[in-house]
A and B are shown apart, each in its own frame.
Chain A
């Protein structure tokens, strides 16, 4: 692990104040991400994975903790600095239908980020046109679509626009928030290959957020599993699938339906559903659904421990 660190997050917290109490969306999450690597973040609805991604690039203001980008503490960076930084840290959103302005054409959408960041002047029409075409070419959008509006395009093409818009700035770090969840499998594979190619050629670091374990397995160097705002396990992708240690990870892995009629997983069926993230009780947040839970699990904080080199688990039973 002599790789150059790009991003480091320390004890990051994001709480939302709601009518019924404090919602702990992200609670004490720490990790670091090296240049050119992909960290997968998996978890189910409401586990805080999207909030984590957004808080890191300061679309949400963190409640506590620190974010370091290229060694610089950006937790309290002001607006001006953040605007500069966003040239290097970008996000691809989940919903290619909601994340594009319906009244802007493909070229206007892609141009927008170039203009906002001042990479081109509005008068440099020729340069701008060239760059837009170059970007469309990179993401596999044919040139004839340059004046199309989002409603004329299918989900896969829209997601390509979202990617082109991000690429336009040549960022170093990209938060990918479920970028392929809204797409059909045959199109999903096209987009995943594209993202891999781009990483190979430009050396992007991805924080890849998804609920789909087969997608993260395919793309990530490391995977972090979240449950109710907490990181419960983090390790290399190979380790996670070979040797999952946390009971939640085990259940999650066993719940995936595998497209092979001969594959019969010893399915661990979890009882009940995710509990409320509002003012969660002390102890392990998974305890209520965990078949191994004891009294010890419901007392005090469950620390994340390194059980093997590079393999972190937050479980007192391990």
Chain B
């Protein structure tokens, strides 16, 4: 798993300037992904997960969105400073994206074959029509759809099958990095298991690195090598999978893990995190989690804590040293 560094994000800041004020969506996110590695990006609604994924590919709509600061290095080159021509080589080719909603991310008036062929054709000028079609068929088979369905339209496919088509499109150009934004959230569990199983197989076969964005700690635990927890536009904790799940150090991570009803243990009562996510147009000063935190003291609201290394690449943005799983 210790491949070369493929993607490195430094201090990325993204805002949306709306009539209701400035939405501070990302407030200085730094992270990296190595070749062939899967990073789980976990957070709740409004934490900035999707903004981060879109920011990597410069897909933030401007206005209202604005990348205020930061750098995104992909294989050493800053994506944010690339010419449109260079960016085009990266998008859909070296980095591709799978969106959450399989129902709306396919074009309803194109056959699935045409949609897979499109991305292959755009990035491979030298291929003939037949070669493109051949590749599209091969891709369709790889995601477990029989070749005779290539001329069907999206409405003829179920949700799980549509998501397979979308993954086929995303992987058609053999990308080095796949950004998967809640790829299985809209699917039923048995179908989710099929799709995750397929993603895992293909990723290993093609040695694709992946950022898996999810709110589901179960999906992340079963798929990822490393995890980053995002809250109010900041990474609050990151580390390898075991450290995060077995030895969480940020009170938010601890709270998230405690809120899930367990299938393996019997709990009489859940331990929710009190309160709500802060309003991104009006973030509290200091640690954004402090108002909901059981361990917070006055020092917490003075300044945003730095990410500090607790060993083994386990970074935590908290001034306290709480040992996970213990009470207050």
Give the B-binding residues of A (Cβ under 8 A): 44-45, 154-156, 184-190, 192-193, 196, 211, 213-215, 217-218, 241, 251-252, 254-263, 267, 269-270, 273-274
Contact = CB atoms under 8 A, between A and B. Distances in A.
Residue from B45, B217, B263, B264 whose CB has the most chain A CB atoms within 10 Å: B263
> What secondary structure prevails in chain B residues at the interface with A?
helix
Given A184-B277, A259-B245, 17 more contacts: A44-B189, A185-B260, A188-B259, A189-B261, A192-B270, A214-B263, A251-B190, A252-B190, A254-B193, A256-B263, A257-B196, A257-B221, A258-B218, A258-B221, A259-B218, A260-B264, A273-B160
A125 B276 CA distance: 32
Given A44-B190, A186-B256, A255-B192, A218 B197 contact: no
A186 B218 contact: no
Contacts of A255: 189-190, 192-193
17 contacts: A44-B188, A44-B189, A156-B276, A185-B217, A186-B44, A186-B259, A187-B272, A188-B259, A189-B272, A193-B270, A193-B272, A213-B189, A217-B263, A254-B193, A257-B193, A257-B222, A273-B191
B307 interface: no
A257 B258 CA distance: 16
Task: List the 6 closest pairs (A to B, CB-CB), nearest first.
Answer: A257-B218, A189-B272, A218-B261, A44-B188, A189-B259, A259-B217
Interface in B214-243: 215-222, 241-242
Nearest to A253: B263
Contacts of A254: 193
A270 B217 contact: no
Contacts of B188: 44-45, 211, 274
Interface string B236-280: 000001100110000000011111111110010111111011000
A211 B192 CA distance: 12
Contacts of A259: 217-218, 220-221, 245, 257, 260
Contacts of A215: 261
Given A156-B276, A184-B45, A211 B270 contact: no
B157 to A, nearest CB: 10
B263 A258 contact: yes
Contact of B271 (A45, A188, A189, A218): A189
A101 to B, nearest CB: 23
B56 to A, nearest CB: 23
Contacts of A188: 259, 272
A88 to B, nearest CB: 27
A111 B194 CA distance: 47
B87 interface: no
Nearest to A186: B273
Interface string B121-156: 000000000000000000000000000000000000
B158 interface: yes
A260 B245 contact: yes
B322 interface: no
Contacts of A262: 246
Contacts of B189: 44, 211, 213, 252, 255-256
B261 A261 contact: no
Of the four ranges (under 10, 10 to 19, 20 to 34, 35 or more), the interface on chain B belongs to: 35 or more
Contact of A184 (B44, B194, B258, B271): B44
B261 A267 contact: no
Contacts of A185: 44, 215, 217, 256, 259-260
B263 A241 contact: yes
B161 interface: yes
A156 B292 CA distance: 15
B217 to A, nearest CB: 4
A196 B218 contact: no
Nearest to B219: A257
B266 to A, nearest CB: 9
Contacts of A193: 269-270, 272
A213 B189 CA distance: 10
B167 to A, nearest CB: 16
A273 B158 contact: yes
Contacts of A154: 276
Nearest to B255: A186
B193 A267 contact: yes
Nearest to A197: B269
Contacts of A273: 158, 160-161, 191
A253 to B, nearest CB: 8
Given A185-B256, A256-B189, A273-B161, A217 B45 contact: no
A267 B259 contact: no
B255 A218 contact: no
A186 B264 contact: no
Nearest to B244: A261
Contacts of B161: 273
B49 to A, nearest CB: 12
Residue from A44, A190, A261 whose CB has the most chain B CB atoms within 10 Å: A261
B160 A261 contact: no
Contacts of B216: 257
Contact of B272 (A186, A257, A258): A186
B148 to A, nearest CB: 16
A214 B267 CA distance: 11
